[in-house]
Chains A and B, each alone.
Chain A
Amino acid sequence: MPARADDHYGLPPQGGAWPLSLAVLAALLALWWAAARFGWVSPLFLPGPGRVWRTFLWLCSDQATGGGLAGHVLASLGRVLGAFLLAVAIALPLGLGMGLNRLLRAGLDPLLEFYRPLPPLAYLPLTVLWLGIGEAQKLLLLTLAMAPPLALAARAGVRAVAVEQLHAAYAMGASRRQALLWVVLPAALPDILIGLRIGLGFGWTTLVAAEMVAAERGLGQMVLNASNFLRTDIMMVGILVIGLIAMAFDGAMRLLARRLTPWHGKQ
């Protein structure tokens, strides 16, 4: 029997149960608080929630060095979004080209298949060797990390168009160019948006690696620097902020996809 009105017999149940989600979060928070309060874990390894909150407020105030938390967040956002734009400008046209053109696909596929699963940390030293330790190196690393999901999504998106849709367009007198712009590209849009979401997410996960080498500001750098001084509280603020921003990115991209491709998944 379906447990809820919108469940279907035999189909894994949809949706969640938000009271349970909240309860688990509250329980974890309570456990964290108790561990600090009753000294189960040394504050050096795990400062309590109150301590982390006060550190957060202090980082937000003007007394903190380097522009405080806002400065770090802005530096990281600037890097990731800048690299994202670069990756979009390069990888989307390449991916679309690979979807549309047999030769381009044949030429680029082996390269992409090889470099896509590489962990960015593996080629990090190479980017330092090539571009030094400035901003350009960080942009390159992040762009390289974000490009493959974008290219693959664009390539797959081109395949999403139904042959019937193209045939109908040509039988209405569409030129190749019109069919591409008004049929193939809109049909590819849902896949492209998924690729953008995954690419942005992957770029953000590479952030700490990108800021490991000679960054003055940035969330990743803030976490690494704090670890040098055993400031576990600052590290935890950094981790929480990185996670929350990642969730915000993901939510924003989902919202964008719902607004731009409301038909997706409804046919």
Chain B
Amino acid sequence: MPRLVVDQLSMRYPAGAGGVAALEDISFTLEPGEIRVVLGASGCGKTTLLNALAGFLPPSSGRILLDGRPLAGPGAERGVVLQKQALFPWLTAGGNVEFPLRLRGWPRARRRAEAEAWLARLGLEGCHGQPLHQLSGGMRQRVELARALAADPAILLLDEPFGALDAFTRESLQCLLLTLWRDSGKSLFFITHSVEEAAFLGSTVMVLSPRPGRVIHESALTFNRAFLQGGDARAVKADPAFIAAREQLLEAVHASQG
């Protein structure tokens, strides 16, 4: 399992001396198999951080190391699920999930079987041939997850993937994501501005300050494990320990904004 090390990363946007500092002196390690959640208000550079980790933006200073080597652009070991839908509307739901397998030259029948298995795992049995515009927002987000997972990245980078969903759909997808995480052992890097989502999903929650984004708080949490053992999201989220952790994160976010 690869280890992603971020070492004194700063990002300016647009790149160069004239740009505005978006991120300053960020250091952390995405440990194999952990869920690291980045929590922060809008405009704190969360998405810039994800773009840097994915390899879409080069560091302005500092380093990002994957197994000890600096990143050279995007790679299939780092999948992304982005805030804005990035599905391909010219393909069916199943065609989208098959896409990463097609890139690898899998034969058609094997591709199809694998895509159907992923769709089923995400609760989308029988949706292989459906055009995307016939699916609800929650279903499309599931397709997006299925596609990213079918590519089998060791690290999955998610940028507010559930931000546009209603509260019920959102919670069911959080639970699904945790189950998939347990079954796959992948490392997740998850961006959100929802304090509750951060506390529920994170093994580590990292709070960023507004521009320029700095790490101002870090907590190690175990509510994701508690959910996977008990299987009841409401019970976990109603637990006084969860509420205390949530309020602590919220306080850190407020403190960061002065």
Q: Are A171 and B54 in contact, with the CB atoms below 8 A?
A: yes
Q: Are A164 and B84 in contact, with the CB atoms below 8 A?
A: yes
In whole angstroms, how far apart are the Cα atoms of A168 and B84 in the complex? 11
Which listed residue (B73, B90, B102) contacts A187, Cβ 8 A? Answer: B90
Within 8 A of A (CB), among B44-89: 54-56, 73-76, 78-80, 82, 84-89
Chain A residue with Cβ nearest B159 = A164
Interface: B103 (CB within 8 A): yes
Residue numbers in B under 8 Å from A174 (CB-CB)? 103
Within 8 A of B (CB), among A148-173: 162, 164-165, 167-173
Interface: B227 (CB within 8 A): no
Interface: B104 (CB within 8 A): yes
Specify which of B55, B89, B104, B133 lies most central, judged by the most chain A CB atoms within 10 Å of its CB.
B89
Chain A residue with Cβ nearest B153 = A171
Residue numbers in A under 8 Å from B147 (CB-CB)? 168, 172
Which listed residue (A173, A178, A262, A267) contacts B151, Cβ 8 A? Answer: A173
In whole angstroms, how far apart are the Cα atoms of A226 and B31 in the complex? 84
Interface: B210 (CB within 8 A): no
Which listed residue (B75, B80, B89, B133) contacts A168, Cβ 8 A? Answer: B80
Interface: A183 (CB within 8 A): yes
Which listed residue (A162, A170, A175, A183) contacts B84, Cβ 8 A? Answer: A162
In whole angstroms, how far apart are the Cα atoms of A165 and B81 in the complex? 10
Chain A interface residues (CB < 8 Å from chain B): 162, 164-165, 167-175, 178, 182-183, 186-187, 189, 261-263, 266-267
Q: Are A164 and B86 in contact, with the CB atoms below 8 A?
A: yes
Residue numbers in B under 8 Å from A261 (CB-CB)? 90
Q: In the assembled complex, how far is the CB of residue B137 from the closest CB belonging to chain A, in whole angstroms?
A: 12
Residue numbers in B under 8 Å from A162 (CB-CB)? 84, 86
List 21 contacting pairs A-B, 8 Å CB cutoff, sorted by A: A164-B86, A165-B87, A167-B80, A168-B82, A168-B148, A170-B55, A171-B76, A171-B78, A172-B76, A172-B79, A172-B99, A172-B103, A172-B151, A173-B76, A173-B100, A261-B90, A263-B89, A263-B90, A266-B89, A267-B89, A267-B132
Residue numbers in B under 8 Å from A169 (CB-CB)? 99, 103
Residue numbers in B under 8 Å from A164 (CB-CB)? 82, 84-86
Residue numbers in A under 8 Å from B88 (CB-CB)? 165, 183, 186-187
Interface: B131 (CB within 8 A): yes
Chain B residue with Cβ nearest A185 = B90
In whole angstroms, how far apart are the Cα atoms of A267 and B131 in the complex? 11
Residue numbers in A under 8 Å from B76 (CB-CB)? 171-173
Q: In the assembled complex, how far is the CB of residue B75 from the closest CB belonging to chain A, in whole angstroms?
A: 7
In whole angstroms, how far apart are the Cα atoms of A183 and B96 in the complex? 11
Given A182-B102, A267-B133, A167 contacting B82 (CB threshold 8 A): yes
Given contacts A187-B90, A263-B133, 19 further A-B contacts (CB under 8 A): A162-B86, A164-B85, A165-B86, A165-B88, A168-B86, A169-B99, A170-B73, A171-B78, A171-B153, A171-B157, A172-B76, A172-B103, A173-B75, A173-B100, A173-B151, A175-B103, A178-B103, A186-B88, A267-B89
Q: Are B102 and A263 in contact, with the CB atoms below 8 A?
A: no
Chain B residue with Cβ nearest A183 = B88
Q: In the assembled complex, how far is the CB of residue A227 from the closest CB belonging to chain B, in whole angstroms?
A: 48
Residue numbers in A under 8 Å from B100 (CB-CB)? 172-173
Residues 122-140 of chain B: 1 if any A CB is under 8 Å from the residue's CB, otherwise 0? Answer: 0000000001110000000
In whole angstroms, how far apart are the Cα atoms of A262 and B92 in the complex? 11
Q: In the assembled complex, how far is the CB of residue B13 from the closest CB belonging to chain A, in whole angstroms?
A: 15
In whole angstroms, how far apart are the Cα atoms of A182 and B102 in the complex? 10
Q: In the assembled complex, how far is the CB of residue B153 from the closest CB belonging to chain A, in whole angstroms?
A: 8
Residue numbers in B under 8 Å from A189 (CB-CB)? 90
Residue numbers in B under 8 Å from A262 (CB-CB)? 131
Residue numbers in A under 8 Å from B75 (CB-CB)? 171, 173
Residue numbers in B under 8 Å from A263 (CB-CB)? 89-90, 131-133
Q: In the assembled complex, how far is the CB of residue A158 from the closest CB belonging to chain B, in whole angstroms?
A: 15
Residue numbers in B under 8 Å from A170 (CB-CB)? 55-56, 73-74
Residue numbers in B under 8 Å from A182 (CB-CB)? 99, 102-103
Chain A residue with Cβ nearest B90 = A186
In whole angstroms, how far apart are the Cα atoms of A170 and B133 in the complex? 24
Q: Are B89 and A173 in contact, with the CB atoms below 8 A?
A: no
Q: In the assembled complex, how far is the CB of residue A267 from the closest CB belonging to chain B, in whole angstroms?
A: 6
Residues 176-214 of chain B: 1 if any A CB is under 8 Å from the residue's CB, otherwise 0? Answer: 000000000000000000000000000000000000000
Q: In the assembled complex, how far is the CB of residue B86 from the closest CB belonging to chain A, in whole angstroms?
A: 4
Q: In the assembled complex, how far is the CB of residue A162 from the closest CB belonging to chain B, in whole angstroms?
A: 7
Residue numbers in A under 8 Å from B86 (CB-CB)? 162, 164-165, 167-168
Residue numbers in A under 8 Å from B157 (CB-CB)? 171
In whole angstroms, how far apart are the Cα atoms of A173 and B100 in the complex? 7
In whole angstroms, how far apart are the Cα atoms of A169 and B75 in the complex? 10
